[in-house]
Protein backbone atom coordinates (compact mmCIF):
# COMPACT_ATOMS: atom_id res chain seq x y z
CA UNK A 1 0.00 0.00 0.00
CA UNK A 2 2.77 2.50 0.94
CA UNK A 3 4.65 1.80 -2.25
CA UNK A 4 1.52 2.66 -4.24
CA UNK A 5 1.22 5.98 -2.44
CA UNK A 6 4.85 6.85 -3.20
CA UNK A 7 4.58 5.69 -6.82
CA UNK A 8 1.44 7.73 -7.59
CA UNK A 9 3.22 11.16 -7.76
CA UNK A 10 6.03 9.64 -9.82
CA UNK A 11 3.64 8.20 -12.42
CA UNK A 12 3.78 11.33 -14.60
CA UNK A 13 5.43 14.76 -14.57
CA UNK A 14 2.00 16.39 -14.16
CA UNK A 15 1.29 14.39 -10.97
CA UNK A 16 4.77 15.15 -9.61
CA UNK A 17 4.37 18.89 -10.24
CA UNK A 18 0.88 18.88 -8.76
CA UNK A 19 2.08 17.01 -5.68
CA UNK A 20 5.00 19.42 -5.18
CA UNK A 21 2.73 22.46 -5.57
CA UNK A 22 0.27 21.00 -3.08
CA UNK A 23 3.10 20.32 -0.62
CA UNK A 24 4.41 23.90 -0.96
CA UNK A 25 0.88 25.28 -0.50
CA UNK A 26 0.39 23.22 2.66
CA UNK A 27 3.73 24.43 4.05
CA UNK A 28 2.88 28.07 3.30
CA UNK A 29 -0.53 27.78 4.93
CA UNK A 30 0.91 26.07 8.01
CA UNK A 31 3.61 28.72 8.46
CA UNK A 32 1.30 31.65 7.72
CA UNK A 33 -1.73 30.43 9.70
CA UNK A 34 -0.79 32.08 13.02
CA UNK A 35 -0.19 35.39 11.25
CA UNK A 36 -3.41 35.18 9.28
CA UNK A 37 -5.49 34.28 12.33
CA UNK A 38 -4.00 37.00 14.53
CA UNK A 39 -4.38 39.65 11.79
CA UNK A 40 -8.05 38.92 11.20
CA UNK A 41 -10.10 41.98 12.00
CA UNK A 42 -12.40 41.84 15.00
CA UNK A 43 -14.91 44.56 15.82
CA UNK A 44 -13.67 46.93 18.43
CA UNK A 45 -15.69 49.18 20.68
CA UNK A 46 -13.18 52.01 20.28
CA UNK A 47 -10.91 51.90 17.23
CA UNK A 48 -9.38 55.27 18.02
CA UNK A 49 -8.97 57.63 20.93
CA UNK A 50 -7.74 61.15 21.41
CA UNK A 51 -5.53 62.40 24.17
CA UNK A 52 -8.32 64.28 25.90
CA UNK A 53 -10.50 61.13 26.22
CA UNK A 54 -13.40 62.52 24.19
CA UNK A 55 -14.85 60.15 21.58
CA UNK A 56 -12.67 60.22 18.51
CA UNK A 57 -13.99 60.81 15.01
CA UNK A 58 -14.16 57.82 12.75
CA UNK A 59 -10.90 57.25 10.93
CA UNK A 60 -10.80 57.91 7.21
CA UNK A 61 -11.13 54.74 5.19
CA UNK A 62 -8.08 53.52 3.35
CA UNK A 63 -7.72 50.83 0.72
CA UNK A 64 -5.99 48.50 3.16
CA UNK A 65 -8.50 48.88 5.98
CA UNK A 66 -10.79 46.00 6.79
CA UNK A 67 -14.50 46.57 7.19
CA UNK A 68 -14.51 44.98 10.63
CA UNK A 69 -12.09 47.54 12.10
CA UNK A 70 -8.93 47.01 14.07
CA UNK A 71 -8.57 44.17 16.51
CA UNK A 72 -8.65 44.98 20.24
CA UNK A 73 -4.87 44.71 20.54
CA UNK A 74 -4.43 47.21 17.71
CA UNK A 75 -6.86 49.64 19.40
CA UNK A 76 -4.77 49.59 22.57
CA UNK A 77 -1.65 50.26 20.53
CA UNK A 78 -3.22 53.39 19.00
CA UNK A 79 -3.03 55.03 22.41
CA UNK A 80 0.69 54.33 22.42
CA UNK A 81 0.94 55.73 18.86
CA UNK A 82 -0.69 58.97 20.03
CA UNK A 83 1.70 59.22 22.98
CA UNK A 84 4.78 58.63 20.82
CA UNK A 85 3.54 61.13 18.22
CA UNK A 86 3.10 63.79 20.93
CA UNK A 87 6.55 63.08 22.38
CA UNK A 88 8.16 63.20 18.94
CA UNK A 89 6.51 66.45 17.82
CA UNK A 90 7.24 68.05 21.19
CA UNK A 91 10.93 67.13 20.80
CA UNK A 92 10.93 68.12 17.11
CA UNK A 93 9.48 71.56 17.79
CA UNK A 94 11.00 72.01 21.25
CA UNK A 95 14.57 72.27 22.49
CA UNK A 96 16.69 73.71 19.71
CA UNK A 97 19.60 74.88 21.86
CA UNK A 98 22.00 72.53 20.06
CA UNK A 99 21.71 70.03 17.25
CA UNK A 100 22.91 67.17 19.48
CA UNK A 101 20.23 67.80 22.12
CA UNK A 102 17.52 68.20 19.49
CA UNK A 103 18.58 65.12 17.53
CA UNK A 104 18.77 62.95 20.65
CA UNK A 105 15.19 63.97 21.48
CA UNK A 106 13.74 63.12 18.07
CA UNK A 107 15.85 60.13 17.00
CA UNK A 108 14.71 58.00 19.95
CA UNK A 109 11.13 58.10 18.55
CA UNK A 110 12.04 57.63 14.86
CA UNK A 111 12.64 54.66 12.60
CA UNK A 112 16.26 54.20 11.54
CA UNK A 113 15.57 55.54 8.03
CA UNK A 114 13.75 58.62 9.32
CA UNK A 115 16.44 59.23 11.95
CA UNK A 116 18.99 59.34 9.13
CA UNK A 117 16.88 61.93 7.31
CA UNK A 118 16.51 63.95 10.52
CA UNK A 119 20.30 64.05 10.82
CA UNK A 120 20.29 66.46 7.84
CA UNK A 121 17.79 68.90 9.38
CA UNK A 122 18.79 72.22 10.91
CA UNK A 123 16.40 72.50 13.89
CA UNK A 124 16.67 76.31 13.82
CA UNK A 125 14.70 76.24 10.56
CA UNK A 126 11.70 74.62 12.32
CA UNK A 127 9.23 77.40 13.06
CA UNK A 128 6.92 75.39 15.32
CA UNK A 129 7.62 75.66 19.06
CA UNK A 130 5.32 73.04 20.52
CA UNK A 131 2.12 71.00 20.50
CA UNK A 132 -0.92 73.13 21.33
CA UNK A 133 -3.91 70.91 20.63
CA UNK A 134 -5.24 67.42 20.87
CA UNK A 135 -3.94 64.71 18.61
CA UNK A 136 -6.19 62.65 16.41
CA UNK A 137 -5.80 59.50 14.37
CA UNK A 138 -6.44 60.20 10.71
CA UNK A 139 -5.66 56.77 9.24
CA UNK A 140 -5.96 53.49 11.09
CA UNK A 141 -5.60 51.23 8.08
CA UNK A 142 -3.93 48.59 10.21
CA UNK A 143 -0.96 46.53 9.25
CA UNK A 144 1.22 48.23 11.82
CA UNK A 145 0.79 51.69 10.26
CA UNK A 146 -1.21 54.74 11.25
CA UNK A 147 -1.19 58.49 10.80
CA UNK A 148 -1.68 61.10 13.50
CA UNK A 149 -2.64 64.75 13.03
CA UNK A 150 -0.85 67.00 15.53
CA UNK A 151 -1.72 70.66 16.03
CA UNK A 152 1.35 72.82 16.68
CA UNK A 153 1.57 76.57 17.17
CA UNK A 154 2.64 76.71 13.49
CA UNK A 155 -0.24 74.58 12.14
CA UNK A 156 -1.08 70.93 11.62
CA UNK A 157 1.53 68.28 10.91
CA UNK A 158 0.83 64.72 9.84
CA UNK A 159 2.95 62.11 11.58
CA UNK A 160 3.22 58.68 9.98
CA UNK A 161 3.74 55.91 12.53
CA UNK A 162 4.99 52.36 12.00
CA UNK A 163 4.97 49.54 14.52
CA UNK A 164 8.35 47.77 14.79
CA UNK A 165 9.03 44.11 15.56
CA UNK A 166 8.85 44.82 19.30
CA UNK A 167 5.36 46.34 18.78
CA UNK A 168 6.63 49.85 19.57
CA UNK A 169 5.29 52.73 17.52
CA UNK A 170 7.98 54.80 15.79
CA UNK A 171 7.72 57.88 13.58
CA UNK A 172 8.58 57.19 9.94
CA UNK A 173 7.64 60.57 8.44
CA UNK A 174 6.39 64.04 9.27
CA UNK A 175 4.67 66.31 6.76
CA UNK A 176 3.00 69.73 7.02
CA UNK A 177 -0.78 69.60 7.00
CA UNK A 178 -2.90 66.58 7.87
CA UNK A 179 -5.65 64.44 6.43
CA UNK A 180 -9.17 65.71 6.88
CA UNK A 181 -11.45 64.04 9.38
CA UNK A 182 -14.02 61.68 7.98
CA UNK A 183 -17.33 63.20 8.16
- For residues 94 and 102, give the distance between their C-alpha atoms in angstroms, rounded to a whole number: 8
Please indicate, yes or no, if residue 30 is contained in any of the structural domains: yes
Give the E-state strand segments of the chain in sequence order: 136-142, 145-152, 155-163, 169-176
- Read off the pLDDT band of 3 (50, 70, 90): confident
Residues 144, 149, 153, CA angle at the centre, nearest 5°? 145
Q: What percent of the chain has pLDDT over 70?
A: 70
- Read off the pLDDT band of 34 (50, 70, 90): low
Q: Tell me which DSSP letter residue 170 carries.
A: E
Q: Give yes or no: residues 167 and 77 share one domain.
A: yes
Please indicate, yes or no, if residue 181 is contained in any of the structural domains: no
Please indicate, yes or no, if residue 102 is contained in any of the structural domains: yes
Checking if the pLDDT of 52 tops 80, the result is: no
Please indicate, yes or no, if residue 54 is contained in any of the structural domains: no
Q: Tell me which DSSP letter residue 55 carries.
A: B
Q: Give yes or no: residues 32 and 113 share one domain.
A: no
Please indicate, yes or no, if residue 65 is contained in any of the structural domains: no
Show the domain range for 96: 72-176
pLDDT, tens digit, for every residue of 95-132?
A: 788 899 999 999 999 999 999 999 999 999 999 999 99
- Average pLDDT for the chain: 75
Give the E-state strand segments of 22-180 in sequence order: 136-142, 145-152, 155-163, 169-176
Helix, strand, coil percentages, rounded to 5, for the chain: 40, 20, 40
Q: Give yes or no: residues 164 and 92 share one domain.
A: yes
pLDDT, tens digit, for every residue of 70-96?
A: 444 444 468 898 999 999 999 999 878
Using DSSP bridges, classify how beta strands 169-176 and 145-152 pair: parallel, antiparallel or unpaired: unpaired
Which CATH number belongs to the domain containing residue 169 in this structure?
3.10.450.540
- For residues 165 and 45, give the distance between their C-alpha atoms in angstroms, rounded to a whole number: 26
Please indicate, yes or no, if residue 125 is contained in any of the structural domains: yes
Q: Give yes or no: residues 7 and 81 share one domain.
A: no
Please indicate, yes or no, if residue 163 is contained in any of the structural domains: yes
- For residues 161 and 146, give the distance between their C-alpha atoms in angstroms, rounded to a whole number: 5
Q: Please state the domain count of the chain.
A: 2
Amino acid sequence: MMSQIWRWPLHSPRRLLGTLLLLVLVLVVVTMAPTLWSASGRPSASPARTTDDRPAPAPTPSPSSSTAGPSPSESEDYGQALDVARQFVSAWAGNKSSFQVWYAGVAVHATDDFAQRLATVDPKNITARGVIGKLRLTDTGGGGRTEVAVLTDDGLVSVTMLRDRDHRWLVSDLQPGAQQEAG
